[in-house]
Amino acid sequence: MTALLASDLPYWAQSLLRVLGGVVAVLLPAGTIVYVFLFKMMSFMQSRLGPMEAGPYGSMQLFAEVGKWLQKEDITPERADRFIFRIAPLVVLTSTFLLVAVVPFGPDAWFTNFEAGVFYMLAVSSVSVLGILIAGWASANKYSLLGGLRAAGQLIAYELPMVLAVVGVIIQAGTMNLQGIVLAQNTGEIFGWNGLGNPYVLTQFVGFVIFMIAVQAELTQTPFDMPIAESELVSGYMTEYSGFRFLTFFIAEFATAGVFALIASVLFLGGWGIPFAWFGWEGLDDVDNWMNVVGPLIMVTKMMLLSFIIMWVRFSYPRFREDQLQRFAWKVLVPVSLVNIMFTAILKVAF
Amino acid sequence: MPKLPGLIKGLGVTLNTLARTTTQGSNTVQYPREKEAPPVRARGVIALREDNCTSCMLCARSCPDWCIYIEGHKELAPPRRAGGKPRQVNKLDRFDIDYALCMYCGICVEVCPFDALFWSPEYEYSEPRIADLLHDKDKLGEWMETVPEAPALEVGAEKKGKK
Amino acid sequence: MTSTESLIDRRQMAYIAAQASDARLNVELETEGMTLNIGPQHPATHGTLRIIARLDGEQVVWAEPSCGYMHRGYEKLTEVRTYPQVTALVNRIDWLGSFANEVPFILAAEKLMGIEAPPRAQHIRTILFELSRIANVSLFLGDLGVQLGAITPVFMAFRDREYVLNLIEGATGGRFHPNFDRIGGLKDDLPAGFVDETRAVMKKLRNFCDEIENLLFGNEIFQSRTRGIGVIPKDVALQYGLSGANLRASGVDWDLRRDQSLPMAWNKADWKVWTHPDGDSFARCWVRLQEVRESTRIVDQLLESIPSGPIMAKVPRIIKVPEGEAWVSTENPLGEMGYYVVSKGDLGPFRTKIRSASFNNISIVPWLLKGVYVPDIVTILASLYFILGDIDR
Amino acid sequence: MSSDAPVAEIPGDLLREGIVDGLRAHLGEALLDSLVKPGDDVWVRVRTDAWREAARVLRHEMGFDYFCFVSAVDWMPSPYGKGEDDPTEPTPERDDTIRQGYAGGETRLQMLARVTSSTRHVGVNVKCDVSDETPVVESWIPVYAGANWHERETHEMFGIGFAGHPDLRNIYLPTEFEGHPLRKDYPLLARMVKPWPGIVDVEPLPGGDDEEGDAE
């Protein structure tokens, strides 16, 4: 952002712009995912049309929902732990905003450019576990207690495969900086042919699959949605929430889905860049300026593609039982990702 | 097609439902604008043809939910043939059906010996107040025009006069 | 997750539960048990059933359903009603397959009077009986998915069930409560074009079964959730009086449509009774899926051979059933539903014992839910497939 | 099918006669009465104290492994009728003679159970009298575990005690419900509360001519 807007903006204006950009980068994907996938695609998959009343083809449905939730009474259960009950949804939402800070959208269009971007991203993504656990515990309701404990077990169990899957990418890209990973993917070549660059989804396919499964589990989506098992726990840790707090949880859930899809497209699908060889670019500095505008569009399309897969799996599969879920994480995902790291390391050294 | 693992086939099913809905349209009807016509024999509401009714109380007696209330009185009607004795006819004062209690079993329509009660497939008569569900005799008369003709019977069915 | 591994795992779970219930609760870990009320307003129960479960962590130490929230006192009501009024009342017991409730009651009354419905009425009765079975069990297949977390199957079930309900409404006038059966035959004949419409709908139903099989039954997650869960051995199933698909899933080859001679047209179509040796939740769901396919075949064959003739036997307008007692039970969608009608020769039955299938199917739940995980309670209840009106009468 | 030809003509239904003879062999004179409707059904009445013994014989010796149901019948005609009497006129007298059904019986309350053989596809209706003073019967649970819920329902509906039943709580009715609804002397309140709309009140012709044209 800094180069784009020249330097006449004082520092506070730039950070204000960054905050605005961050809010848009989180809420916009959340809104589009909810409308396109949750309302429209799910209904079309079930041979119905979905909401059609609010606005043309139900486009205003999301605002109607937000309006409905806002005017609903925000109840705190009588024996709940009041303070913790209130801040739980905010904790989950902050972890999403922290996550998006590190995602690059274009050669100069990024919020921050940490050297250890991936490390920061993995650390911050586990903050939402705390939010869900205290939400479950604080609402003094047996169902949400069960939901919260299940969520704690599941999210921690699936963080390990996510981390290990990302390690493969880091070995191949050689850097932890997300901008660097995007560059490595778009300039690298597979066995000398650089027509398509080297998107890690091809060379790191196993890592990609494990990462997507772990993301599905992090978002507590259907094959792994024991914490919000509607048929047993009513709605898990969110049972006691209503009104604005439930809206925060709802936004957090889909915003995290959007941000994880963004991160997955950065790590595996070559982020904002198109293979540089097509434009004859060599490094970061000679990428043209219009890329700063086209980059975010490419990111959004890749994000929509990945969240299509996430939502498609969500609407077709039944739910794991949580001991099968844990067994699947520890006995299958972790060993496979370790093997994947070993192979990547060997191949990295060989070539 | 090779024996795909169940998981992939499951995804296939949802995908081609998606394709089918986008191409051939959905199975749902947008109710307030498009309306699905109920079949001819649908039991929506009971219609009363008042002049057939001789307040013989058979329907009120055979209703399981006790939701038909009839009051009538006797009158002298002009004789059929000139100079004949004036006929004594039961005149109907009140014929209410309380649709809040009625369970649409159709015993009254069947048991009526004078064909005064008919079924009509009308279904949009919900009321904000439950008391308005007590339809009186002229409201039941209004339903008379919505009563359709009895449908043609399947081949091989024996013709019989029952409605 | 082969089923043997889950069977060992199941025995191990039962051992843990036994341990927990004996040592009252695990003292060293100071975990005190939690009593969880599942229901009466709960998404997993088909209506208002409440399950009181004492948990040790996620495992059920003791569980017992408490019903009665939907008790309408049918047997008392039948004492003050005439026969047509009871038929209108009785199809509200199992409200999903409601035509199937009227048939055994009317057959019992006809047996007492010693008359039989004309062949055409018997034929159409069997067709409508099988249509209400399809309507009932196809909803089960969809609902099975929702209980286990998949949202899509239930919409497919409702979409294809709508065609069957429209058929029933076209013929009888009522989608859910047809009230079409009379002592001695049927109220009316089929409307024109019913036969070809039904044939088209049966084709739709068959591809609905294939879709559900691909989407749900083939799914490895579904199989790992249902294989080896809630295993009911054959003799326990018989002892508790389980019936219908729950019994056939434990390997008992017994179907009331084939094994007794009723004045209906089942023997005019050739069809197969499906059984499954395992007796676990997967077996019960699988047997029901095959039964829906079998019903569509029965309906197709019966549609070909509807005899022509009267729809109603010679029956006086006011029916007084002679004194006597009769028991008739048929293979309803939920299991064996039977009526023991005692008549003292006046307008209505003197006493009617209504033996409904789900009452026995659910009486096995306390035995079955020992040492089971919380999510498996829902799987077992979904596979036993009961309807609350059937339990509470 | 179940043509009600006089019993003598058709050769007796061997299957069901065999059942009755088998039971008589095992129970001896505890089997009080039996009735066979050829090709239809068989009713058997045992002595009250041989109720569990009959179940054990049926299940273990004669192979009736499928438990169908256990219930009871109250043979006293209801003193309230159908609740369709005109409150203005005196209540019509009703015959309250107690006439039992098939296979006889002396008492007002009578147990009724049915068990079936899942292999021979034939069922038996078993009855036994329940004395009016001490309405207690042995519980069938040791023989058929499925009888647990049925006996709880019969207990709360008819007031019949079951010796040996682990927890005889109400299954449908709330715990503090007094009275046994399915007994005939228990009024059906729904029909007491509201006057019957079927009572004919078409006033006679004005002008008071004598013929009482009250449509029945």
**Is the confidence at residue D135, as pLDDT, over 60?**
yes
Judging contacts by C-beta atoms under 8 Å, the chain B residues touching residue D201 are 71
Chain C positions in Cβ-Cβ contact with residue B6 (cut-off 8 Å): 214, 217-220, 222-223
pLDDT digits (tens, 9 = 90+) for C275-292: 998 889 999 999 999 999
Helices within C173-219 (DSSP H only):
194-212
Q: Considering only CB atoms, which chain A residues are within 8 Å of C215?
A: 316
* Set of chain C residues whose Cβ sits within 8 Å of the Cβ of D123: 327
* Alpha carbons A44 and C271: distance in angstroms, whole number: 36
What was the pLDDT predicted at C42?
Answer: 64
Interface mutation vs chain B, best among A44, A313, A314, A315, most B CBs within 10 Å: A44
3-state secondary structure of D67: strand
d(CA C166, CA C201): 10
**Angle formed by the axes of helices A82-100 and A243-268, nearest 10°:** 30
Q: How far is Cα of residue A38 from the mean position of the Cα atoms in its chain?
A: 16
**Which among C353, C364, C367 has CB closest to D69?**
C353
- As a whole number of angstroms, the distance between CA C43 and CA A211 comes to 32
Residue A276: which residues within 8 A CB-CB, separation 6 or more?
A: A186, A187, A197, A282, A287
- pLDDT tier at D195, thresholds 50, 70, 90: confident
**Hey, what's the torsion of the CAs at A313, A316, A317, A319, to 10 degrees?**
100
In sequence order, what are the residues at sequence separation of 6 or more whose Cβ sits closer than 8 angstroms to the Cβ of residue C55? C33, C34, C35, C36, C61, C374
Report CB contact under 8 Å: B74, D204.
yes
Plot region of A270 (φ>0 → left; ψ -120 to 50 → alpha; else → beta): left
Give yes or no for residue A87 having a pLDDT over 80. yes
What is the model's pLDDT at position C149?
Answer: 84
Chain C interface includes A142 (CB < 8 A): yes
Least confident of A239-248, A301-310, C94-103, D12-21: D12-21
Whether A120 and A146 have beta carbons less than 8 Å apart is answered as no
Beta strand D109-117 with D122-130 is antiparallel
Beta bridge partners of D34: D44
Interface probe for B, chosen from C72, C81, C85 (most Cβ of B below 10 Å), is C85
**Which pLDDT value is given to residue A7?**
59
- pLDDT at residue D210 is higher than 50: no
Average pLDDT score, chain A: 85
Alpha carbon B112 to its chain's center: 15
Closest CA to D205 of B58, B51, B72, B84: B72
A165–C contact, CB cutoff 8 A: no
Q: Which of A21-35, A273-287, D4-18 has the least mean pLDDT?
A: D4-18
Task: For residue C248, give the nearest of C220, C273, C216 by alpha carbon.
Answer: C273
Local confidence band at C235 (pLDDT 50, 70, 90 cut-offs):
confident
Task: Report the b/e string of A47-85 with b at 16+ CB within 10 A.
Answer: bbbbbbebeeebeebbeebbeebeeeeeebbeebeeeeb
d(CA C285, CA C217): 9
**Which of D110, D142, D107 is CA-nearest to residue D127?**
D110
**Domain tally for chain A?**
1
Tell me yes or no: is domain D14-187 CATH 3.30.200.20: no
pLDDT given at position D8: 40
Q: Do residue B6 and residue C220 have CB atoms under 8 angstroms apart?
A: yes
Q: Which of A44, A46, A316 sits opposite B10 (nearest CB)?
A: A316
Distances from the Cα of D75 to the Cα of C32, D99, D184, angstroms: 51, 7, 8
Q: φ and ψ at B96, to 5 degrees?
A: -110, 140
C-alpha to C-alpha distance for C243 and C249, rounded to whole angstroms: 10
Residue A318 pLDDT greater than 80, yes or no: yes
List CB contacts (< 8 A) between C222 and chain B: 6
pLDDT score of C44:
58
Angle between helices A334-350 and A205-218 (to 10 degrees): 150
pLDDT at A133 over 70: yes
Residue D144 has pLDDT above 70, yes or no: yes
Q: What is residue D34's three-state secondary structure?
A: strand
Q: Which chain C residue shows the shortest CA-CA distance from B11?
A: C215
Structural domain of C99? 82-360
The stretch C188-215 carries a mean pLDDT of 91
* pLDDT digits 0-9 by tens, A194-218: 667 778 888 888 999 999 999 999 8
Residue A46 contacts C, CB cutoff 8 Å: yes
**Within a domain: residue A257?**
yes
Query: Domain residue spans in chain D?
Result: 14-187
> C317 with B112: CB under 8 angstroms?
no
CA-CA distances (angstroms) from residue A100 to A23, A35, A287, B98? 9, 21, 23, 62
**Residue A129 pLDDT greater than 60, yes or no:** yes
Chains D, A in contact, 3 or more Cβ pairs below 8 Å: no
| pLDDT band with cut points at 50, 70 and 90 for residue D201 | low
pLDDT of residue C46: 66
Q: How confident is the model at residue D7 (pLDDT cuts 50, 70, 90)?
A: very low
CB-based contact D202 B68, cutoff 8 Å: no
- Whether the per-residue pLDDT at D211 is higher than 70: the answer is no
Confidence label for D213 from pLDDT (cuts 50, 70 and 90): very low
- Cβ separation of A47 and B13 shorter than 8 Å? no
pLDDT classification of B4: cutoffs 50, 70, 90:
low
Distances (CA, A) of D67 to A208, C267, D72, D199: 57, 26, 16, 45
- Mean pLDDT, chain B, as a whole number? 83
**Distance from the first to the final alpha carbon of chain C:** 40
Q: What is the mean pLDDT of residues C206-222?
A: 89
When pLDDT is averaged across residues A317-337 and rounded to a whole number, the result is 89
Question: pTM of the full predicted structure?
Answer: 0.88
Q: What is the pLDDT of residues B56-109, one digit of tens each?
A: 888 888 888 888 888 888 777 777 777 777 777 778 888 888 998 888 888 898
Alpha helices in C1-118 (DSSP H): 3-22, 74-78, 83-90, 99-113
CA distance linking residue C61 with residue C65, whole number of Å: 14
pLDDT at C1: 39
Whole-angstrom distance, CA of residue D152 vs CA of residue C362: 14
> D193 vs C123, which has greater pLDDT?
C123
pLDDT, average across residues A246-272: 89
- How many structural domains does chain C have? 1
Average pLDDT over residues C224-235: 88
User: Which region, left, alpha or beta, applies to residue C76 given φ > 0 means left and ψ of -120 to 50 means alpha?
Assistant: alpha
Q: What is the predicted pLDDT for the residue at C352?
A: 92
pLDDT, one tens digit per residue, over C65-124 is 888 888 888 888 888 888 989 998 888 888 888 899 999 999 999 999 988 899 999 999
Q: Residue B84 has what pLDDT?
A: 72
Q: What is the mean pLDDT of residues C152-177?
A: 89
Domain membership of residue C151 (yes or no) is yes
Where would I find the H helices in chain A?
11-33, 42-45, 61-71, 82-100, 117-125, 127-138, 142-173, 178-187, 200-203, 205-218, 230-233, 243-268, 291-316, 322-328, 334-350
Residue C198: partners with Cβ closer than 8 Å, 6 or more residues away: C127, C131, C167, C299, C303
Query: What tens digit of pLDDT does each residue of D175-191 get?
Result: 888 888 888 888 888 78
**Assigned domain for A6 exists:** no
H/E stretch holding B156 reads none
Domain that holds residue A296: 11-350
Please give the Cα distance from A257 to A109 (Å, whole number).
Answer: 21
ipTM above 0.90, yes or no: no
Is C381 a member of any domain?
A: no
The percentage of residues in chain D with a pLDDT greater than 70, rounded to a whole number, is 87
Instruction: Identify the H or E element spanning A55.
Output: none
Q: Which residues contact C236 (CB under 8 A, 6 or more apart)?
A: C364, C367, D145
In a domain, C116, yes or no: yes
Digit-coded pLDDT (tens) for A33-74: 888 888 888 888 888 888 888 888 888 888 888 898 889 888
pLDDT tops 70 at residue A314: yes
pLDDT, averaged across chain C? 85
- Report all structural domains of chain B as residue ranges with CATH numbers, in order of start: 45-68+95-146 (3.30.70.3270)
Pick from C148, C224, C374: CB nearest A146: C374
- Burial degree of C325 (CB within 10 A; 0-12, 13-18, 19+): buried
Phi, psi dihedrals of residue C24, rounded to the nearest 5°: 50, -70
Report the residue of A144, A224, A226, A231 to disrupt the C interface, i.e. the one with the largest count of C CBs within 10 Å.
Answer: A231
Q: What is the pLDDT of residue D76?
A: 85
C216·B105 Cβ contact <8 A: no
> Quick check: is C118 in a domain?
yes
Write out the two tokens for D2: 């179940």
Nearest CA in chain C to D190: C77
Is residue A255 within 8 A of residue A26, CB to CB? The reply is yes
* pLDDT of the residue at C122: 92
For residues D25 and D19, give the distance between their C-alpha atoms in angstroms, rounded to a whole number. 10
- Residue A278 DSSP SS3: helix
Q: Which residues of D touch B59 (CB under 8 A)?
A: none
The residue among A321, A324, A332 with the most chain C CBs within 10 A of its CB, best to mutate, is A321
DSSP single-letter state for residue C298: H
pLDDT in tens, C27-48: 445 556 777 777 666 665 566 7
Least-confidence region, from B23-37, C148-162, C199-213: B23-37
Nearest by CB to residue B14, choosing from A45, A48, A52, is: A45
pLDDT digits (tens, 9 = 90+) for C7-32: 556 666 666 666 555 445 444 455 56
Each residue of B139-160: pLDDT tens digit? Answer: 888 888 888 888 788 877 776 5
Please report where in the chains the tokens 């019992």 appear, as a residue.
Answer: C108
For residue C111, the domain's CATH number is 1.10.645.10
Q: What residues in C contact B154, CB-CB < 8 Å?
A: 189-195, 306
